[in-house]
Amino acid sequence: MSGVSRVKALVAIFAITSVAVRADEAVYTDNALASGWQDWSWGSTIVYTATDMKEGISSISVNSTAYSALSLYDPTPFPTYAGLAFDISGAQPDVSIIIQDTADNTQSATIPLSALSNSVTTNNFTSILLNFNSVPPNGVPLGNGTWDRITFQAGGNGAAYYIDNIELISTITIAPEFLSAEPLANNLLAVTTSGDVDFSTVKVNLNGKSIHLTSNTTTVPVDNPSKTITYLTLASSLAPGNLAITAGNSSFSFVLPAKLDATIGHSATHSISERIYGVNFPTSASYIQDLGVTISRWGGNAVTAYNPFGDFTNAGNDWYFENRDSDDGSADDWVGWVSAAGSDTLLTIPALDWVSKDATSYSYPASIYPDQEAFDPYNGVSGDGLFPNGSYVTPVPDQSNVYTPWNTSLAKQWLSGLVNKPTLVAIDNEIEIASNTHQDMHPDPMGYDEELARVVNFSTVAKEVLPDVEVAAPSTCSWWYYWTSEIGFSDNAAHNNTDFIPWFLAQMKSQEKTAGTRLLDFLDLHYYFQADTSANDDAAKALRLRMTRSFWDTTYVDESWIGTDTPQNTQPNATIVQLIPRMRKLISQVYPGTKFSISEWSSTADTDITGGLVTVDSLGIFGKYQVDSATYWSDPDETGPIGLAYWLYRGYGVQFGSLSLPVNIDKFNPDTLGIYAATSGSKVSLVVVNKDPSSPVALAVSSLPTGKYFLRHFGGQAGVAKFQTTISLTSASYLVVPAYTAVFLQQK
């Protein structure tokens, strides 16, 4: 196709100054890969001489099956370049770009093409530029690895496209630009820029009067060096009305709202558990330290099959019932390095009758069960255990094909030999649904009695060999199973028509009498919001941001099946989840002294700003409403929105506070606002999350002292990065939090 414009769209927008002076390096121009480059693709039909869509003489046509790739390798690692350019045509193909270092087995983030352009079409080439100094999705630099491989990997539905003019670029020049300018706190403008802008062009006008700027501070976020933010101090305070900012060629305007009156009480109501700031499977010691993670869980579906005498596992129906080496190595070593990094640990003890016997077997081979709904796309031979009509494959495979027996003696042998002792243990994971998740291992539905027996048997062993450990159970997956079992309501009926969790708590209380010691320290549940936010459109985002009310609000009717279906349990007000107050009340009624933990929960949107705001709100709620421990599912990206929520409260040694302070606020609307206060003694911390997508919020906090404050924030027009500075608060009578932004303020 001739006559196509090849002006490179500047997709990566943040500033870099150019790297070493070096010529660009062609990887593909016409007919064949450039000298030195090899084709390491898999599962794809690739033609290097396609002419039906091309620039110059030819292009590469690629047709990749699910998760397969066009993958280009150069045995001589390429030196530090500024970026990668290529032209692509297709129906917005679902491909992701990964830059790899095959020697170290390290790689960049998985960069979806959609993070670089959302307008790739079949009738033209779109020029893409990936800036190595600001790699999507989070704008983190690629770094200096010995990069030698460039992979374009298709998603689950495959991808067909033409790609041309693949080139490593030595210099990216970015024009100076003011990207955002937002009002913040009492008298600040937070301004993000790219390139070398002139701050003297910034003019601020509030209600027709211009406001002078008195000083400015520029900071560069720790892991996004391409994102700079400059805080301009205004000569007078922000106030309700029309704020207009012009800067360079750009202009920004805001309607600043009337203030909401708020008061922070000075007497703490209760202490905030340190252990609410946890995650499942942190990725490294620095992850724990950077984000201030306080507890880390080894858990999830695959650990049910974890064999500690070989470090094998099996994720059940999450991945074709295949054995594999444990992704996280040995649990003992894991507890060791996680503890050394400063985090408490929550280790899951398998409690079914089997664990994986090796790293290679699988339960539903095509050779034995040819008629299955799906097979692992990577090997084509291990099936998903379902007939094409969706029912479970029969006969149930012999468990010893894949598993080896497991019981309390083996658990005792394992736990007593641990070099590194966990802080908490959980008795398995969501075993109430084992006949689904692990249908091959435990095909019969689990009832009340069996689940109780397993918890009691394995907890007894844990307490015997790890005298200091605390036990968490039953790690139930969701609302439905809090109240009944997989057997169904006949099981409730057989247990005096008692809902499962209250029945379980009562039984564990009576077991304490028999055992002479508590066998349950934490009532542990998993909590996944039931509202459907998968559309991720404006309505879904607003729903996501207000559904945190299901954690605490005794009037919030769940906006999901829970709020509309006939609730098949005997809970009071069963359309209102009010998870934390409900469970604390049940505990106090049935088995006082038991703590409450949530060992899996999720914002439902790990890569969306709204997921980050939900996480900030939730961590505030866990402190305010007294959760004793909580671990996010699962290892959220350190530099993504969820990681930033943890950083906001805890990052790099900062602590929100150990005592919860009450906040009273006029006309408080929890659908659009979250506000949390704490102290560790004399100094006050405040977290505010503005859930409104377009309007700033303004607070008059009568009881907040003036003086120096440490300020952190993320979101809004500034985007996702670890922005922080120190400010002088001269008045707390009008504090602005921009739209879709979370702010942390701490007295210095």
Ligand X SMILES: *[C@@H]1O[C@H](CO)[C@@H](O)[C@H](O)[C@H]1NC(C)=O
Which residue, among 584, 581, 609, 586, has the nearest Cα to 693 in the 3D structure? 609
Contacts of ligand X in 319-348 (CB under 6 A): none
**Residue of 10, 66, 381, 410 interacting with ligand X (CB under 6 A):** 410
CB of 409 to ligand X, least distance (A): 4
Stretch of residues binding ligand X (CB under 6 A), selected from 383-391, 531-539, 681-689, 701-709: 383-391
Residue 496 binds ligand X (CB under 6 A): yes
CB of 309 to ligand X, least distance (A): 11
Confirm if 523 and 583 have CB atoms less than 8 A apart.
yes
* SS3 label, residue 260: strand
Residue 143 binds ligand X (CB under 6 A): yes
Q: Which is nearer to ligand X, 564 or 702 (CB)?
A: 564
Confirm if 629 and 273 have CB atoms less than 8 A apart.
yes
Residue 17 binds ligand X (CB under 6 A): no
DSSP assignment letter at 42: E
Neighbouring residues of 319: CB distance < 8 A, sequence distance ≥ 6:
376
Stretch of residues binding ligand X (CB under 6 A), selected from 166-174, 447-455, 681-689, 695-703: 447-455
- Residue located via tokens 């790099």: 652
Residue 682 binds ligand X (CB under 6 A): no
Number of residues that bind ligand X (CB under 6 A): 38
CB of 216 to ligand X, least distance (A): 4
Would you give the binding string for ligand X spanning residues 57-96, x where CB under 6 A is met? ------x----------------x----------------
Stretch of residues binding ligand X (CB under 6 A), selected from 48-56, 174-182, 341-349, 679-687: 174-182
Q: What is the amino acid identity at position 196? A: D
Residue 160 binds ligand X (CB under 6 A): yes
Reduced 3-state DSSP string for 600-618: EECCCCCCCHHHHHHHHHH
Cα–Cα distance for residue pair 605/619, rounded to 1 Å: 15
Residue 493 binds ligand X (CB under 6 A): no
* Residue 740 tokens, joined: 């879709």
Q: Which is nearer to ligand X, 9 or 34 (CB)?
A: 9
**Residue of 123, 367, 566, 682 interacting with ligand X (CB under 6 A):** 123
- The Cβ of residue 389 has, within 10 Å, a number of other Cβ atoms equal to 7
Residue 396 binds ligand X (CB under 6 A): no
Which residue, among 23, 7, 12, has the nearest Cα to 195 in the 3D structure? 12
Residue 573 binds ligand X (CB under 6 A): yes
**Residue of 144, 146, 284, 730 interacting with ligand X (CB under 6 A):** 144
Q: Which is nearer to ligand X, 560 or 578 (CB)?
A: 578
Confirm if 458 and 427 have CB atoms less than 8 A apart.
yes
User: Is the C-alpha dihedral spanning 346, 675, 267, 625 positive or negative?
Assistant: negative
Contacts of ligand X in 207-236 (CB under 6 A): 213, 215-216
Q: Which is nearer to ligand X, 248 or 365 (CB)?
A: 248
Which residue, among 244, 52, 290, has the nearest Cα to 162 in the 3D structure? 52
Residue 653 buriedness (CB in 10 A; 0-12 / 13-18 / 19+): exposed
Residue 564 binds ligand X (CB under 6 A): no
CB of 418 to ligand X, least distance (A): 18
* SS3 label, residue 270: strand
Reduced 3-state DSSP string for 435-452: HHHCCCCCCCCCCHHHHH
CB of 235 to ligand X, least distance (A): 9
Residue nearest to ligand X (CB): 248
Neighbouring residues of 391: CB distance < 8 A, sequence distance ≥ 6:
none
Residue 592 binds ligand X (CB under 6 A): no
**Residue of 367, 389, 534, 682 interacting with ligand X (CB under 6 A):** 389
To the nearest 10°, report the CA torsion of 64, 66, 69, 70: 10
**Residue of 337, 378, 387, 561 interacting with ligand X (CB under 6 A):** 387
DSSP line for 457-493: HHHHHHHHH-TT-EEEEEEE-SHHHHH--TT-HHHHH
Residue 285 binds ligand X (CB under 6 A): no
Contacts of ligand X in 452-491 (CB under 6 A): 453-454, 457
* Residue 325 tokens, joined: 């080496």
Residue 367 binds ligand X (CB under 6 A): no
Cα–Cα distance for residue pair 582/601, rounded to 1 Å: 17
* Residue 666 tokens, joined: 């006029």
Confirm if 713 and 688 have CB atoms less than 8 A apart.
no
Q: Which is nearer to ligand X, 110 or 218 (CB)?
A: 218
Cα–Cα distance for residue pair 622/462, rounded to 1 Å: 28
CB of 393 to ligand X, least distance (A): 8
Would you give the binding string for ligand X spanning residues 707-746, x where CB under 6 A is met? ----------------------------------------
Q: Which is nearer to ligand X, 75 or 405 (CB)?
A: 405
Q: Which is nearer to ligand X, 248 or 257 (CB)?
A: 248
* SS3 label, residue 319: coil
Q: Which is nearer to ligand X, 420 or 435 (CB)?
A: 435
Would you give the binding string for ligand X spanning residues 182-201, x where CB under 6 A is met? ---------------x-xx-
Residues β-bridged to residue 28 = 33, 166
> Which residues are at the interface with ligand X (CB under 6 A)?
4-5, 63, 80, 123-124, 143-144, 160, 175-178, 197, 199-200, 213, 215-216, 248-249, 387, 389, 391, 405, 407-410, 450, 453-454, 457, 496, 554-555, 572-573
